Amino acid sequence: MPPSGNATVIVASHTGGAGFLDIMGTHYLVQTPSNVLYCIHSDLNSDLSFKKSTDGGLSWSSPTVIFSGTLTAFSVWYDRWSNITAGLIHCAYQESVTDDTLYRTIDTESSDALSTQTTIFAGASTAAGGALSICRARGGNVYCYTVIDAGAEGGFFRLPNANVPNGAWDAARANPEALATLDQVILVPGWAADNQDMMAFFWDASANEVSRYVHDDSANSWAETSIATSMTALSAGTASPNFAAAVDISNSRNLLVAWSNTDLLNADLRCWHITESAITEVTNIVLNSTDDQGLCAIAINTDNGYWYAFYCGKSDGSETWRTSLNVYYKVSQDSGSTWGEETKLSSFTFASNTLNLFVIPRFFGSFAAIHVRTEPAIVCMVRSVAPRAAMNIGI
């Protein structure tokens, strides 16, 4: 049975600054093999920082600044999610002063040493609209998809394994498509014979479609296959994400969850497991929503292989989108064929102008989820449902 029992403690809060909410990209919480948690975040000054916890989240360190500037987006990836036995947290971030996409790593196995900052993409201007995702291939190359200015600038870039983490990035590679304002992307490792190949999930807002793109590293080419149509995108300026992924290393595949719509009667929270050769939809996590639901995250318990799906809003429609919401989760013990009962994770409803939800995508022991609110105080809270009390972290 899933663990149960949680309490809420707000460690810190602040007003002003971008915090998490105005900062886009693929965000995750990191758990190391020694159960140290890392939370990478945009702080009060719009700098990129991290906090860490060595007691499962009951207490957190002071922030360590990774980059001092004005962030517009950031993305993170951890080596072990690519089945690489190493401890680098890869951070890509966009900033609005020099309009560049930059890169730096945190070495969790070497006293949190920060690598030399390098430039992924040197832009000309930064405006509203864009996407950012970073990921490491199973073979060791690091890849970044960066888009600024609503698709006017950016592209797909590679840092060869030999150059990780301090070397130069290659020139822009083949770009599958230029993302527009609401389009989003998630990079994940590929499972082909070539362990440097990659996979990407794209949400095309204008076409209302989610697709799988497969990147052949040797040929520098992409191949697209539609995953689902009639998928209405959520404005990234109000909440994120409305689709999320996790890596199922044991079965050489990736998991994807996505809402067909947000805050709408009969919306579905859908789920797939995906390889280069197959796109397999499993049972909906939420079927025919009553209303007032959105956001999602997916995680795998590496102790037993169970899937944990997270979302905001109670399925009976009794809560109000972006005004009064809780975080809920369901567990599947059979790879998505069936889902357990809806369980409330948060211990109080929260009101927000904007929302954010993300998790540890691969965890052991107790799981943790982050959601963010602005009222206008910006508070980041980590919750872990486990035999002991939950914990929260403010940024």
* CB-based contact 224:209 (threshold 8 Å): no
Distance CA 92, CA 74 (A): 6
* CB-based contact 121:73 (threshold 8 Å): no
- Which contiguous run of DSSP H or E holds residue 363? strand 362-363
Distance CA 186, CA 30 (A): 17
Q: What is the pLDDT at residue 124?
A: 83
Parallel, antiparallel, or unpaired: how do β-strands 142-148 and 153-159 relate? antiparallel
Give DSSP secondary structure letters for 281-307: E---SB-S--SS-EEEEEEEETTT--E
Residues of the chain scoring pLDDT < 50: 1-5, 7-22, 376-378, 385-395
Distance CA 12, CA 380 (A): 8
Give CA separation, 189 vs 108, 155, 195, 346, 356, in Å. Answer: 21, 18, 8, 31, 24
Q: What is the pLDDT at residue 240?
A: 78
Distance CA 34, CA 227 (A): 37
* CB-based contact 38:89 (threshold 8 Å): yes
Q: What is the pLDDT at residue 131?
A: 85
* 159 closest CA partner among 212, 101, 85: 101
Domains of the chain: 29-293 (2.120.10.10)
Q: What is the pLDDT at residue 372?
A: 66
Q: What is the pLDDT at residue 388?
A: 35
Torsion sign across C-alpha atoms 236, 238, 243, 245: positive
* 6 closest CA partner among 64, 68, 57, 78: 57
Task: State the pTM of this model.
Answer: 0.93
Residue with the two structure tokens 């950031």 = 74
What is the number of alpha carbons within 13 Å of residue 346 lying toward its C-beta?
Answer: 23
